[in-house]
Amino acid sequence: MMPDGDMRLPGDMRLPLAADKSPALSVSHLSKRFGDRLALDDVSFDVGRGEVFGVLGPNGAGKTTAVRTLGTLIAPTSGSATVAGLALTSENGVEIRRRIAIMPESPGLYLRLSVLENLECFADLYEVPEARDRIEHALRLMGLTDRARDASGSLSKGLRQRVALARALLSEPEVLFLDEPTAGLDPVAVREVHELIVGLRERGVTTFLTTHRLEEAERLCDRVAILNTTLRTIGRPDELRDKLFTRTLTVRTLEGLPEPDRVFGGLSAVDGWRRDGSAGYILTVSDPEVAAPDVTRALVAAGADVLSISESRHSLEDVYLELIDEEKEAAPA
């Protein structure tokens, strides 16, 4: 379990879950080695049911290896996991794959078959009951009804991705793994996939999403993990920002304050300040909502013409880059 205040622990990075809900995924000290190359190293986390869990990381960070391992396509070298309530063992492989669905980075459709024929094949592979109804529903959900008879090879990349998502939803999985679902898509197709993921969350489907797109993770995921062979950190996007960066207020005035230390130094809500240009100040605060009114009153009392007071926002990209940069600096030369 992850204690408060300690953002990065090497092994176990699990978050507390509601007592009445077993996690959809529970990963404990999982490692995977390919020959001499370590792809995953001592990774631990839990994913709650209905959660959209994002995994961010650079190329070769082990994101796809994590998906394939949890999807029973490859065996872990060490460690253990529970997937959709079943222990990750080769004996449980068939039953685990029955309960989950994986959408690989490449759609992998049968290009000579129509969209409908692709879905028929997978409906039978999952042995879904009332396959015809499920297929029609999946086609409707993905907006593919009028393309059902088209050869998959004639579809655009975005449409193929949609077919792959329809295919993944046929079995109504408990856990859905999406490996870079928007890679190589144009902005319109990306937006469509995002809307679909939001729709899945509303329907309570647990989603394990790997992505390069930080804004995608920030927008869609309840929690994100930053992976680079080892798990670097895990948490809600805003939580990660708060833990990694001090909270600040940015103040802009019409002209520079003659004695800024007198204005800001006497405020208990302000921990410190520094200049940002000739008429800008960055204040370090512990609680921006408490500090902002105090700062405003102090500036007005000092006769300053206040242009703006705003909380500085760090993006998930800042968090990501900070962590990756730290790792590069820590790596032996």
Partner 1 sequence: MRISWRRVRAIVRKELREYRRHGSVLVATAIFPVIFLIQPLFVVFMVHSATAALLEQWHLLLYMLGIPVLTPAILAAYAVAGERQQGSLEPVLTTPIRREEFLLAKALAALVPSVVIAYGVYAVFLACVALFAQPDVAVAVLRPPDIVAQLLLTPLLAGWSIWVGIAISARSSDVRVAQQLSLLADLPVLLVTSLIAFNAIHLTLALAVALTAVLLIADTLGWRIVSPMFNRERLISSTR
Q: Which amino acid belongs to residue 214?
A: L
Q: How far is the CB of 24 from partner 1 (least distance, A)?
A: 17
Q: Are 198 and 220 in contact (CB under 8 A)?
A: yes
Q: Which is nearer to partner 1, 92 or 248 (CB)?
A: 92
Find the helix or strand (DSSP H, E) in which 290 lies. helix 288-301
The nearest distance, CB 213 to partner 1, in angstroms, is: 22
The conformational region for residue 51 under phi > 0 = left, psi -120 to 50 = alpha, else beta, is beta
Task: Kindly state the smallest distance separating residue 118's Cβ from partner 1, in Å.
Answer: 8
Smallest distance, Å, CB 71 to partner 1?
6
CB of 331 vs partner 1, minimal distance in Å: 25
Rounded CA separation 74/261 (Å): 61
Cβ distance to partner 1 smaller for residue 45 or 122: 122
- Of the two residues 38 and 113, which places its CB atom closer to partner 1 in the complex? 113
In this complex, which beta carbon is closest to partner 1, that of residue 83 or of residue 316?
83
Please name the residue that has the structure tokens 């379990």.
1
Angle subtended at Cα 223 by Cα 42 and Cα 90, rounded to the nearest 5 degrees = 45
How many CA atoms does the CB half-sphere of 316 hold within 13 Å?
Answer: 27
Taking the CB of residue 159, how many other CB atoms lie within 10 A of it? 21
Please identify, using beta-carbon distances, which residue of 71 and 260 lies nearer to partner 1. 71
Applying CB under 8 A, the residues found at the interface with partner 1 are 34-35, 65, 68, 71, 73-75, 94-95, 97-98, 100-102, 104, 106-113, 117, 120-122, 124-127, 164, 167
Tell me which residue has tokens 């030369």.
Answer: 333
CB count within 10 Å of CB 202 equals: 9
